[in-house]
Amino acid sequence: MNKLIIITGQTATGKTSLAFKLAQENNGVLINCDSRQIYKYLDIITGKDYNLISKNKIGLYDVIKPDEYFSSFDYVKLALPLIKKIIKKGKTPIIVGGTYLYIKHLLYGVETENIPPDWKLRKELGNKTVKELQKILTGVSTQLINQLNQSEKNNPQRLIRKIEILKSRAKGSHIQPRGLNMTLQSSKTNMAITLENKLSVKNLKIEFYGLKFKDKNLLRKTIKKRVEKRLKNGAVDEVKKLLEMGYTKKDPGLKTTGYQQLIGHLEGVLDIDTTIQQWINKEVQYAKRQYTFMKKDKNITWREI
């Protein structure tokens, strides 16, 4: 019997502590699944737990630089072999992090798996207005744009992705998607089977936990404390250092809560109180969105804190 443990959930719920505990009980090895901790040099503000886990005991920390793009596909590509290696050693991989999108793609696959992001195209289309993007899409496929809901129709990133998919298919390079889709989320066995195939591992047992706050007051209080702690630990200096290294607020790594606000402060746009308040608000809002997204996954066993 092979075991895989996944711990996700809202930010600031203590996922890493739980992962550490489960690692001791299960002969486990941690694999990060936080889209921010993937980045080098983003340490204090993304809350890398160096005290709890020494750097070499957790996988997928610090794999790219702040100006590099990363996607759920890249994550899966890196995570799968790592998981496999750990299982082969007879240990338990423990995936821990709040980026549910990455977990979702790892567990359930993506229909358009063979159509990679075209960052050049994205950059090009990035200058266009939503109206222009809609027009491009309408020109290619009226059917497709009619299927989009209001939210997606106005979301430039989503529209660009759709265009990307259509362009790729127009080139004829695509293969018919495999039957991996959302319906698998309702079935625990299928989830394991999918991964067993991808890993070529037999008898995989998956434990899938989600951590969430009991109520919003506690969430806000905890986040506020955490922000204050990070400031005390040198968050401002971390940002200064990154700016000195030549990174800017437009770099994908720095498009992160905390960095955006502190850069605003260093630029003199925000006073410190506003900076802190905004930082806290953004994290609270993020935690809310996380749960909205994750709660649709029926495989998650929830634990309230």
Partner RNA sequence: GCCGGGAUGGCAGAGGUGGUCAACGCACCCGUCUGAAAAACGGGCUAUGUCGGUUCGAUUCCGACUCCCGGCA
**Which range binds RNA by CB under 7 A, 52-60, 64-72, 205-213, 242-250?**
64-72
Residue 122 and residue 267: Cα distance in Å, rounded? 28
Instruction: Among 36, 107, 208, 270, indicate the residue that binds RNA (CB under 7 A).
Output: 36
112 part of the interface to RNA, by CB under 7 A = yes
Q: How far is the CB of 303 from RNA (least distance, A)?
A: 19
Residue among 63, 190, 196, 252 that touches RNA (CB under 7 A) = 252
Q: Of the candidates 17, 154, 190, 233, which one interacts with RNA according to CB under 7 A?
A: 154
- Residue 2 or 275 having the CB closest to RNA: 275
The residue from 285, 298, 302, 304 that contacts RNA (CB under 7 A) is 285
Site for RNA in 42-61 (CB under 7 A): 45-47
Residue 71, interface with RNA (CB under 7 A)? yes
* 176 labeled part of a ligand binding site: no
Residues 178-217 that bind RNA (CB under 7 A): 180-182, 216
Q: State yes or no: residue 290 binds RNA (CB under 7 A).
A: yes
Q: How far is the CB of 155 from RNA (least distance, A)?
A: 4
- 128, 196, 243, 286: residue in contact with RNA (rule CB under 7 A): 286
Name the segment binding RNA (CB under 7 A); options: 50-58, 134-142, 235-243, 281-289. 281-289
Q: Which of 109, 61, 95 is nearest to 206 (CA)?
A: 95
- The DSSP bridge pattern shows strands 301-304 and 92-96 to be unpaired
Say whether residue 292 binds RNA (CB under 7 A): yes
Positions 218 through 247 that interact with RNA (CB under 7 A)? none
* 97 annotated to a ligand binding site: no
Give CA–CA dist 107/175, Å, rounded.
21
Q: Report the residue number, 2 or 37, with the smaller CB distance to RNA.
A: 37
Secondary structure string (H, E, C) spanning the chain: CEEEEEEEECCCCCHHHHHHHHHHHHCEEEEECCCCCCECCCCCCCCCCCCCCCHHHEECCCCECCCCCCCHHHHHHHHHHHHHHHHHCCCEEEEECCCHHHHHHHHHCCCCCCCCCCHHHHHHHCCCCHHHHHHHHHHHCHHHHHHCCHHHHCCHHHHHHHHHHHHHHHCCCCCCCCCCCHHHHHCHHHHHHHHHHHHCCCCEEEEEEEEECCCHHHHHHHHHHHHHHHHHCCHHHHHHHHHHCCCCCCCHHHCCCCHHHHHHHHCCCCCHHHHHHHHHHHHHHHHHHHHHHHCCCCCCEEEEC
Kindly state whether residue 261 participates in binding RNA, applying the rule CB under 7 A. Answer: no
User: For RNA, which is the closer residue by CB, 28 or 109?
Assistant: 109
Distance CA 153, CA 130 (A): 8
Interface positions with RNA (CB under 7 A): 11, 34-37, 45-47, 69-74, 77, 98-102, 105, 109-117, 122, 125-126, 149-158, 160-161, 165, 180-182, 216, 252, 255-258, 278, 281-286, 288-290, 292-293, 296
Feature table: binding site: 9-16
